[in-house]
Amino acid sequence: MFWLSMILGCLVITPLVLNVFLPYFWHDVLYFKDLMLILCKFASRRRRKPLFLVVDRFLEQALKHPDKPFIVFENKTYSYKDADRESNKIANALQWHSYLKQGATAALYMGNEPAFIFTWLALAKLGCAVALLNKNVRSRSLLHCFNCSGANVLIASSELKGAVEEIQNSLKEGGVSVFIMSRDCHTLGMHSLADKVEEASDAPIPQSARSSITFNSPAVYIYTSGTTGLPKAAVINQTRILAAMAVLASNGVTEGDVIYVNLPLYHTAGFVVGFLGSIETGSTIILRRKFSASRFWDECREYNVTVIQYIGEVLRYLCNTPKRDNDKEHKVRLAIGNGVRAEVWREFLNRFGQIKVREFYASTESNIGFVNYTGKIGAVGRVNFLHRKLFPYTLIKYDTERDEPVRDSKGLCIEVPKGETGLLVSRITDIAPFTGYARNQQHTEKKKLRDVFQKGDLYFNSGDLLMIDHDNFIYFQDRVGDTFRWKGENVATTEVSDVLTLSDFVKEANVYGVKVPGHEGRIGMAAVTIREGEQFDGTKMFSHVTRYLPLYALPRFIRIQDSVEVTATFKQMKMKLVEAGFNPALIPDPLFFLDEKEKSYIPMTREIYSSITSGHIKL
């Protein structure tokens, strides 16, 4: 009797004790259970014959509920069946009019619209890899992105026809077939596609059309400007995309949910988390051309949206909209994304009610990710013993001035203690592989870090500085050296300085990001030296940078220096420049500001400075 009550007592007491002394114990266990369920499902799918790919999951859903709304876009609803038929037609048209065969790559150059999704599905049915070109890139960058995917077919929306024409000569030299998604196209060497799709059959594409695809075959190329130089194509292979499809499902999203997709479909957040996540769960997508803070909640109410996505700025933009009485009236229950600051997170919950925020940390090409599964404001995740066993990662000491990891006398890296900021590195293993960048061996190598804790070991260098606190919560701190984030996009400093030095009068350029009060991330700034006998011309500079760079990457401030300062190791001295910022009262050098109305760089004044810091000038 005594023992029985002891045991019963223990059963009751243990959870209580655990809750008090290890308050996150159950969160940790449940999280691990979810992780295991996902891994099991993934493993069983991988055993299926013939090979089970993402598009097969879509076909399953289309069979299960053909008439269920799949995409709602500008007052038009497309059911799963509609999407299936439309993608069959595109696939049949392409099969007939292009030389696309399974295993080939096509590039898709399109903004958010149903045709993006239908075309992607069509190409997946044909067993083709798809390069998802960023619709903001132009000329040299566009050509570069196209080239490094190895695609020989380009499919563009009609609004981007002009941008394709700019690079048409090079495309022609490379023997590329160009299709424009419009009914007619009178430019020589380009073909219309929409008319051919209308005439095409909607007969299903047989599985044999993709029978040679393996899990190692590339599925999509997503462009990132993670470290240096022009954008790089991260190769996502079939295994990876199949695993990534589970992000929404693993956060409790089911087929009853309605997902609001307003982030670009050519980025990971929109494509993998939003679009593929809906396919996996069989839910409905409310698709928008782009994010609009003012329309956001009205649309969520109108369409009964239950899941929203964000990247850093999004939640802040929503908090900055004028307060309304019905702010808390909506059905949104989950917000999933990354990059939100703790104070914005708090404000967001106060203002819009009890929405579950699932902040996660991951990048397109990295082999490690975290998710806040406990509800700790500000944290991107939590150290989970078993997760760490499966995906070994560490934070190591980093020298921000020299822009490299600190190494000890034996040449090995040093783990930072809890509470200190360090560079996140994760071991490259079979279950955590690093696929690298397409046709870019040099940059693939740069992301690999060797001799971290032992001679000969191999880690992925995330390029992100994180901190783990004494309660094991993980916080994102900053990004290292050669990139910064602005408006949710990565800006590669070397790409911008390459463009600046292509102008007639800039000799050297040192590009970095500076903080602006009231904004997430950093805005672009450049310190440049001028070629001998030349002068800085603000108007010429403006037309040069707007021609070659996407909007988010434009240097908003330019500082003219006599010489570029370098460190002892001859690396450009950035930290001092970043700290100096753009305040004309503190900077002795000539300073210019990009004025969109004047279409020129104009001299920076104290008035402009205070209008920016007070928020009167919108950046």
Ligand X SMILES: *[C@@H]1O[C@H](CO)[C@@H](O)[C@H](O)[C@H]1NC(C)=O
Q: Which stretch binds ligand X (CB under 6 A): 107-115, 273-281, 373-381, 400-408?
A: 373-381
Residues touching ligand X: how many (CB under 6 A)? 27
In the complex, the smallest distance separating the C-beta of residue 570 from ligand X, rounded to whole angstroms, is 28
- Backbone angle region of 520, left / alpha / beta, with phi > 0 → left and psi within -120 to 50 → alpha: beta
Shortest CA distance to 124 belongs to which of 245, 290, 43? 245
Instruction: Report yes or no: 370 and 282 within 8 Å, Cβ to Cβ.
Output: no
Q: Which stretch binds ligand X (CB under 6 A): 30-38, 289-297, 369-377, 523-531?
A: 369-377
Read off the amino acid at residue 272.
V
Closest CB to ligand X among 92 and 284? 284
In the complex, the smallest distance separating the C-beta of residue 239 from ligand X, rounded to whole angstroms, is 4
Q: Which stretch binds ligand X (CB under 6 A): 77-85, 103-111, 166-174, 602-610?
A: 166-174
**105: phi then psi, degrees, rounded to nearest 5:** -120, 135
Q: Contacting ligand X (CB under 6 A), which of 25, 32, 52, 303?
A: 303
Shortest CA distance to 54 belongs to which of 324, 217, 242? 242
Q: Is 239 in the site for ligand X (CB under 6 A)?
A: yes
In the complex, the smallest distance separating the C-beta of residue 341 from ligand X, rounded to whole angstroms, is 12
Handedness of CA 398, 394, 425, 469 (dihedral sign): negative
- String marking each residue 391-430 x if it binds ligand X according to CB under 6 A: ----------------------------------------
In the complex, the smallest distance separating the C-beta of residue 130 from ligand X, rounded to whole angstroms, is 16
d(CA 398, CA 423): 6
DSSP at 203? P
Q: Contacting ligand X (CB under 6 A), which of 132, 193, 248, 357?
A: 357
CA of residue 419 relative to chain centroid, distance = 28
Mark 147-165 as b/e (b = at least 16 C-beta within 10 Å).
Answer: bbbbbbbbbbbbebbebbb
d(CA 478, CA 450): 22
In the complex, the smallest distance separating the C-beta of residue 35 from ligand X, rounded to whole angstroms, is 14
In the complex, the smallest distance separating the C-beta of residue 170 from ligand X, rounded to whole angstroms, is 4
- String marking each residue 256-275 x if it binds ligand X according to CB under 6 A: --------------------
Q: Which stretch binds ligand X (CB under 6 A): 92-100, 375-383, 504-512, 557-565?
A: 375-383
Read off the amino acid at residue 78.
Y
- String marking each residue 423-462 x if it binds ligand X according to CB under 6 A: ----------x-x---------------------------
Closest CB to ligand X among 357 and 526? 357
In the complex, the smallest distance separating the C-beta of residue 252 from ligand X, rounded to whole angstroms, is 8
C-alpha dihedral, 340 to 346 to 348 to 349, nearest 10° = 130
Q: Which stretch binds ligand X (CB under 6 A): 167-175, 262-270, 396-404, 606-614?
A: 167-175
In the complex, the smallest distance separating the C-beta of residue 422 from ligand X, rounded to whole angstroms, is 23
Q: Is 45 in the site for ligand X (CB under 6 A)?
A: no
C-alpha dihedral, 42 to 43 to 47 to 52, nearest 10° = 10
**Contacts for 29 with CB less than 8 Å, ≥ 6 apart:** none
**Contacts for 39 with CB less than 8 Å, ≥ 6 apart:** none
Q: Which stretch binds ligand X (CB under 6 A): 136-144, 463-471, 490-498, 551-559?
A: 136-144
Cα→Cα distances 22→10, 28, 332, Å: 16, 10, 31
d(CA 144, CA 157): 19
Q: Is 168 in the site for ligand X (CB under 6 A)?
A: no
Q: Contacting ligand X (CB under 6 A), which of 182, 187, 237, 529?
A: 237
Read off the amino acid at residue 215.
F
Q: Contacting ligand X (CB under 6 A), which of 9, 50, 162, 174?
A: 174
Q: Contacting ligand X (CB under 6 A), which of 41, 45, 341, 356?
A: 356
Q: Is 173 in the site for ligand X (CB under 6 A)?
A: yes
Closest CB to ligand X among 359 and 482? 359
Instruction: Report yes or no: 556 and 524 within 8 Å, Cβ to Cβ.
Output: yes
d(CA 312, CA 318): 11
Q: What share of the chain is helix, strand, coil (3-state, %, to 5)?
A: 35, 25, 40
Q: Is 136 in the site for ligand X (CB under 6 A)?
A: no
Residue with token string 């440049």: 528
Q: Is 532 in the site for ligand X (CB under 6 A)?
A: no
Structure tokens at 12: 């009751």
DSSP at 467? E
In the complex, the smallest distance separating the C-beta of residue 41 from ligand X, rounded to whole angstroms, is 16
In the complex, the smallest distance separating the C-beta of residue 82 from ligand X, rounded to whole angstroms, is 17
Q: Which stretch binds ligand X (CB under 6 A): 140-148, 272-280, 463-471, 595-603?
A: 140-148
In the complex, the smallest distance separating the C-beta of residue 506 from ligand X, rounded to whole angstroms, is 21
Alpha carbons within 13 angstroms on the beta-carbon side of residue 346 total 7
d(CA 128, CA 120): 9
DSSP secondary structure, 318-353, as one string: HHHSPP-TTTT-S---EEEEE---HHHHHHHHHHH-
- Backbone angle region of 581, left / alpha / beta, with phi > 0 → left and psi within -120 to 50 → alpha: left
d(CA 265, CA 385): 34
Read off the amino acid at residue 518.
G
- String marking each residue 48-87 x if it binds ligand X according to CB under 6 A: --------------------------xx------------
Q: Contacting ligand X (CB under 6 A), which of 147, 228, 283, 306?
A: 147
Closest CB to ligand X among 251 and 510? 251
Interaction residues for ligand X, span 200-229 (CB under 6 A): 215-216
Closest CB to ligand X among 59 and 287? 287
In the complex, the smallest distance separating the C-beta of residue 2 from ligand X, rounded to whole angstroms, is 41
Q: Which stretch binds ligand X (CB under 6 A): 274-282, 321-329, 351-359, 467-475?
A: 351-359
CA of residue 544 relative to chain centroid, distance = 27
Q: Is 375 in the site for ligand X (CB under 6 A)?
A: yes
The footprint of ligand X (CB under 6 A) covers: 74-75, 140, 143-144, 147, 170, 173-174, 215-216, 237, 239, 303-304, 356-359, 372-377, 433, 435
